[in-house]
Amino acid sequence: MKFVFISDTHGKHEQITLPPGDALVHAGDFTMRGTLPEVSMFLDWFEQQPYRYLVLVAGNHDFLAEREPGIFRQLIPDKVIYLEDSGVTLDGIHLWGSPITPWFFDWAFNRQRGTEIRRHWELIPPETDVLITHGPPYGILDEVLRDPRPVGCRNLLHRIEEIKPRIHVFGHIHEGYGQVRQNDTLFINASVLDVRYQPVNAPVVVEI
């Protein structure tokens, strides 16, 4: 199966050129402020993309998904698979998705580092092949320009080291766009917008 990974489109989804594939996966931040009109516009576009599978997680900008989950879920088209600490199996490939990120200025889906955020990562099944989270693990494609220290989640990294998914895709840190392989996992920061919120990064295509 050919996966096309994107993240952090922030309302600029129509400016993105998508390559062909079987599954389109968005790792969150599809809006700027998470308003209902923004969400509706994105979902209308996402539903129309010509892929067998459309998979979505929310991000820290996507407030409607957390503050008004009932309204948000009613907006999700039938053909779109939304993952929120949940999973799905596509053609025998196990996916798990989560919007959770470490606490930062009280954005959506923020959790305190340590015990609170660890509870979410403990839900990730050991048989996960493709892990989709909005934020990165600690020390992997997670450095921001204003501060060279890693900003990713240590607890998430520890869980990944335990279960060893084949792919971990995320976004959140626009400057971290790229790929790196460590041990048995291919890590992908799929942010299509750069730090200036310009759509300069290409979607990432991986075949499993």
pLDDT in tens, 87-111: 999 999 999 999 999 998 889 999 9
Measured CA to CA in angstroms, residue 149 lies from 100, 103, 146, 174 at distances of: 20, 16, 9, 15
Structural domain including 17 reads 2-207
Is the full-model pTM beyond 0.85? Answer: yes
191: three-class secondary structure by DSSP: strand
Contact status, residue 113 vs residue 154, Cβ threshold 8 Å: yes
Query: Which residue in the block uniquely carries the two structure tokens 């516009």?
Result: 41
CATH classification of the domain holding 142: 3.60.21.10
pLDDT in tens, 43-101: 999 999 999 999 999 999 999 999 999 999 999 999 999 999 999 999 999 999 999 99
Name the domain count of the chain: 1
